[in-house]
Structure 1
Amino acid sequence: MTTPEETSLPAAYHAIDEERVEVDAVILGAGIAGLHQLHLLRRLGLRVLVFDKAGDVGGTWWWNRYPGARFDSESHVYQYMFDEELYKGWSWTERFPGQPEIQRWTQYVADRLDLRGHIRFSTTITSAVFDEDRSRWTVRTDRGDTVDAQFFVSCAGPLSAPLENVFEGQNSFSGDILHTAKWPAEDADMTGKRIGVVGIGATGIQVIQTIAGRGRHLTVFARTPQYVLPMKNRVYGEEQQSAYKARFDEVSSTVPHTFAGFDFDFAHVWAEYTPQRRREVMEELYADGSLRLWVGGFADLFFEREVNDEISEFVRNKMRARLGDDRLADILVPSDYGFGTRRVPLEDNYLEVYHRPDVELVGIRDNPIARIAPEGIVLSDGTVHELDVIVLATGFDAGTGSLTRIDVRGRDNRSLAEDWSRDIHTLMGLGIHGYPNLFTIGAPLAPSAALCNMTTCAQQQAEWIRDAITHVRTQGATTIEATKEAEDAWIEHHEQTAAATLIPSTDSWYTGSNVSGKPRRLLSYTGGVGAYRQKCHEVATSGYPGFAIT
């Protein structure tokens, strides 16, 4: 297997001069989206170069190596569906595999499709500037690369810009501070140490349930409680692997058309059931040990307050029963927002962790963290929690951060970071007005920004981008750009669709409210993966209305 260090620029990518290399497309990111996009554009015969700041393929699965990191999508659907042999050539060992196996799968894909030679690892794109006179992008990196490309495709992912420096005094801490999205390759030794975890979102939950008992004492600092569902993982042997592989045709034909890109869809209508039957269905969905109760049960959950209230109370009662302690429940069980309007984590005996004598739960809703001192974490009331290790599970600048942390400039030298600081806008999450030949996957205003099984949406968007590039080149044109009118119309449709749901009423990273000063807008399109896919298909088959092609 070729290692990242052994890759070199293919001979077909020639130097324009001593300083610049010319290609047809530059791709940002070698994760789930980037690998597929590279494969598709190479099959068109394009010269493609990928840059990734990681040391190998995998994207989020390379960076998020924290203890307990794993799928909460079932493994048989978190796969590429464009090649049956590729799909069947890999055998998952669990229903919800862990990070090491997931990264090995991405390495399998890269090697099977012979992609490594086109990827520059450990390299960060620092700027991408559109040259209006030449209708091409100039992309620069921190390693001195200057690349001239017709197309620039961002496959950086919606959760790739971690929030790291969030507390005053972090640099003064005498121990180790670890961010979950930048976990060391060699797992940190916590033996005998006092550990503090800040954050109880999906990532924090996985870390907490995994490291409890590793050190001398674990202190969890919890602000916003989360609805959680128990994960029922199981080992896959040959029988289970053969069973899911035998369903390839069924899964590949149905998954892209469901609401969230999973192997299930909303199957029940609240009004059609008696109270007793509703309860039975909720129990069945809960017992499945997956995300079915969230995005495979009652669609009414997202639209009807009374329905949401009842399902929310159902989950609350499950959590309270497991906790069996009023103080713990007051901190850990949500009461001021509805189930499903924030990200719903799956967990494995997470709530039971708080029954351990070596675990302390500190609620910081009303007594927030004031600063980090050399000895540990200081709360607003002056309480000091002495620690040796601090784990920050503090989230991401979702959807926008991967591009706004790069100096991306379009027509008239306009800055994407400045544009999005005023208002987050895209056309279908695929293009941005003012930025010709820039395509995006996992960007705002598409399901892939939050409400989608990532492989499902990444494949669809990558294939749409391939087809759009093919159309441009077939037409003998040089640029494709979202028009202002079409972008405005999509934003209006996006907002109307979102407003029909209960999701925007809840503060979360879904709405950007976790980042100070970020414009509030629901990042993900809520019309559903299948409906979005159909809209994209209609645009492509109609000659790309809403995109100016010149």
Structure 2
Amino acid sequence: MNVKQYDAIIIGAGFAGLYMLHKLRERGLSARVLEAADGVGGVWYWSRYPGAKCDSDSIYYSFTFSEELYKKWRWKDRYASQPEILQYLNFVADELNLRPDIQLKTRVTKAKFQEEAKQWEISTDQGEIFEAKYLISGVGCLSTTNIPPFEGSESFKGEQYHTGRWPHDKVDFTGKRVVVIGNGSSGVQTMQEVAKEAKEMTLLMRTPHYVAEARNHPLSKEEQEQAINNYKGIREAFFNTPGGIRLYTTGKSATAFSAKEQKEKLEHIWETGGLSLGSVFTDVSANKEANFVVSQFVRDKIDEIVEDRDTAQLLHPNYYITTKRLIIGTNFYEIFNEDHVHLVSLKDNPIERIVENGVQLKNGTVECDVIIYATGYEAMTGSLLKIDIEGRNGKTIQEKWEDGRNVKTYLGLMMESFPNLFMITGPQSPSVLTNMPAAIEQHVDWIDQCIEYLEEKGIQTIEAQKESELEWAKQCDDLANQTLYPYTNSWYTGANIDGEQRGFVIYVGGLNNYKAICDQVAANDYEGCTFEKLQSNVL
């Protein structure tokens, strides 16, 4: 069989894969991106559900590594929609002439480290074999869909869709009875649009969430030009703020303000919109008293907006705000005042099975023509665990991570027993707690500089030391335990899959602090790693 040789194979053609390819080509290395879809875009290629938008202000949802590239693009809205983000990523692929090195409709099924050759052997669903010194994952944190195994789903006679695998053509809901299962970000955004068309729409809700107002709007020419002229400020925010984005903050604890002042600050956030409910006070994610102030503010807003008292109560979240991903929406709570919109709590009336005419609950059946599964993703580890990745001595990533229940990495970037395997925004990095383009740029830049070091020194392999992984896991756990995150089961921990708490696999210390740690590791000649030179001489 013809084996294709490259210096690096990159999995995925989203933000991460595109930038990684660009950097490696600049370095003069041969690289190939393997992408399962028939277009670039990553998660933004697949998630075409109605109302799909990013939840970072669009002016920050761009690459900043090139001032020229940044200034060529103009975002239309405060929060960019899926079609516009996909258009942007295609623009990037064209501007940087990346397409010749991107192979579409190709899913990586297996990757095996060859001990003697010190190379990765990568197999695809097209029957191809690639060999490369470096294997780089750009599969993303939220790209593997989670469809709960509801009994009887194959018997349903109507239409079924998952928000993460939406059809390319518009779905018409006019005159139809629609059931939405799940009310995370994709569910909220979908419902806002489906409610405009459907004859009836019923949300089957397991856990109510905090939904902040987005206040989305078209960006004026003046706002667009202001963003372009603020390029240096945008880039500075990428790497010198905890979230890679500037959000409103008082810079003080909630306890520094009177109750009246607290409410004034929160009302300002609600009216201006966005994710700043999590940053308005410095201790929202760590102090129960401060968190209650913000959490209760949203619950009070729900009571103000939703006319039916029982429905309002059902919509009250009862966990610490920010410990599940904060959602932003547009008049989300208002849709429950419409006669054709219904809410069913699954807490005491769970789903038993899907039947041919709808969803059978413990207490009756909700009849419908369409079922939308807004049930999220196997987040953080799911996409990597779907690939058969085999490191030294036949150890698989599934064995190393105990199928995701005991994640072990160094900096979220590499692993012991998996030489020259790099993960972009992997578990135990800041990833989903940040503006993703910022996190991706930081990761890709670090990986690129690491590869430069290896090539210049004539080093054949690099991998994490076991002790480094243990120390990093402890550092991540210690930081998380100083916050309120571990108190809540969420997709941050993998609990959305089967209800099992798997551990908090995100670095919560902020992208700015994380970058400083990574930079120090690099400055100290990649301390915490083991190297092999040619002839297997250990440094």
User: Structure 1 residue 274: deviation in Å?
Assistant: 3.1
Q: Which residue of 2 aligns with 1:5?
A: none
Residue correspondences, number: 529
User: Structure 1 residue 35: deviation in Å?
Assistant: 0.6
1:84, 1:129 → 2: CA distance? 38
Q: Which residue of 2 aligns with 1:31?
A: 14
RMSD (Å) for aligned C-alpha atoms: 1.3
Residue 186 of structure 1 aligns to a residue whose secondary structure is coil
1:233-292 per-residue CA deviation (whole Å, 9 max, x = no partner) reads 111232221111111111211332111111236442124333332222222222220111
Residue 110 of structure 2 aligns to a residue whose secondary structure is strand
Runs of 4+ in 1 over 3 A off after TM superposition: none
The one-letter amino acid paired with 1:491 is A
User: Structure 1 residue 517: deviation in Å?
Assistant: 7.5
Residue 496 of structure 2 aligns to a residue whose secondary structure is coil
Within the alignment, does 1:494 sit opposite 2:467 as a pair?
A: no
The one-letter amino acid paired with 2:228 is K
Within the alignment, does 1:185 sit opposite 2:157 as a pair?
A: no
1:453–1:405 CA distance, 2 compared to 1 (3 A) = same
User: Structure 1 residue 215: deviation in Å?
Assistant: 2.4
1:425, 1:318 → 2: CA distance? 41
CA contact (8 A) 1:258 1:265 kept: no
Residue 281 of structure 1 aligns to a residue whose secondary structure is helix
Among 392, 416, 434, the residue aligned to 1:433: 416
1:362-390 per-residue CA deviation (whole Å, 9 max, x = no partner) reads 11111111111111100123x11111110
Among 120, 135, 141, the residue aligned to 2:103: 120
1:104, 1:133 → 2: CA distance? 43
1:243–1:329 CA distance, 2 compared to 1 (3 A) = same
The one-letter amino acid paired with 1:112 is E
User: Structure 1 residue 518: deviation in Å?
Assistant: 5.9
The one-letter amino acid paired with 2:373 is L
Within the alignment, does 1:400 sit opposite 2:381 as a pair?
A: yes
1:53-75 per-residue CA deviation (whole Å, 9 max, x = no partner) reads 11211111111000000111001
Within the alignment, does 1:214 sit opposite 2:219 as a pair?
A: no
User: Structure 1 residue 299: deviation in Å?
Assistant: 2.0
Among 276, 288, 291, the residue aligned to 2:275: 291
1:358–1:279 CA distance, 2 compared to 1 (3 A) = closer
1:267–1:469 CA distance, 2 compared to 1 (3 A) = farther
Worse-matched range after superposition: 493-502 or 188-197 = 188-197
Q: Which residue of 1 aligns with 2:536?
A: none
| Percentage identity across paired residues of the two chains | 38
1:340, 1:164 → 2: CA distance? 24
Unaligned runs of 5+ in 2: 533-539
User: Structure 1 residue 519: deviation in Å?
Assistant: 5.9
Among 34, 53, 57, the residue aligned to 1:74: 57
Q: Which residue of 1 aligns with 2:368?
A: 387
- Once the two structures are superposed, the pairs formed by residues 195-234 of structure 1 within 5 Å of their partners are 195-234=178-217
Q: Which residue of 2 aligns with 1:414?
A: 395
User: Structure 1 residue 165: deviation in Å?
Assistant: 4.3
CA contact (8 A) 1:222 1:331 kept: no
1:104-158 per-residue CA deviation (whole Å, 9 max, x = no partner) reads 0000000000001111111110001111111110001101110000000000000
Among 75, 78, 83, the residue aligned to 2:66: 83
TM-score (norm 2): 0.96
The one-letter amino acid paired with 1:288 is T
Within the alignment, does 1:107 sit opposite 2:124 as a pair?
A: no
The one-letter amino acid paired with 1:338 is Y
CA contact (8 A) 2:15 2:440 kept: yes
User: Structure 1 residue 164: deviation in Å?
Assistant: 1.9
Q: Which residue of 1 aligns with 2:227?
A: 244
Residue 515 of structure 1 aligns to a residue whose secondary structure is helix
CA contact (8 A) 2:307 2:337 kept: no
Q: Which residue of 2 aligns with 1:274?
A: 258
1:282–1:237 CA distance, 2 compared to 1 (3 A) = closer
1:377, 1:339 → 2: CA distance? 30
The one-letter amino acid paired with 1:107 is N
Residue 233 of structure 1 aligns to a residue whose secondary structure is coil
Q: Which residue of 1 aligns with 2:301?
A: 318
CA contact (8 A) 1:424 1:519 kept: no
Q: Which residue of 2 aligns with 1:485?
A: 467
1:224, 1:165 → 2: CA distance? 15
Among 487, 490, 502, the residue aligned to 1:508: 490
User: Structure 1 residue 515: deviation in Å?
Assistant: 1.7
User: Structure 1 residue 172: deviation in Å?
Assistant: 1.3
The one-letter amino acid paired with 1:543 is D
Q: Which residue of 2 aligns with 1:454?
A: 436
The one-letter amino acid paired with 1:311 is V
Q: Which residue of 1 aligns with 2:330?
A: 348
Within the alignment, does 1:358 sit opposite 2:312 as a pair?
A: no
1:308, 1:518 → 2: CA distance? 25
Q: Which residue of 1 aligns with 2:537?
A: none
1:110–1:194 CA distance, 2 compared to 1 (3 A) = same
The one-letter amino acid paired with 2:312 is A
The one-letter amino acid paired with 1:455 is P
2:148, 2:347 → 1: CA distance? 20
1:321, 1:80 → 2: CA distance? 40
The one-letter amino acid paired with 1:350 is F
The one-letter amino acid paired with 2:456 is T
Q: Which residue of 2 aligns with 1:4?
A: none
Within the alignment, does 1:334 sit opposite 2:320 as a pair?
A: no
Among 490, 500, 510, the residue aligned to 1:528: 510
2:499, 2:226 → 1: CA distance? 49
Residue 479 of structure 1 aligns to a residue whose secondary structure is strand
Residue 200 of structure 1 aligns to a residue whose secondary structure is coil
2:152, 2:515 → 1: CA distance? 46
Unaligned runs of 5+ in 1: 1-17
1:333, 1:232 → 2: CA distance? 21
The one-letter amino acid paired with 1:541 is A
1:185-211 per-residue CA deviation (whole Å, 9 max, x = no partner) reads 002222222111100111100000111
User: Structure 1 residue 213: deviation in Å?
Assistant: 3.1
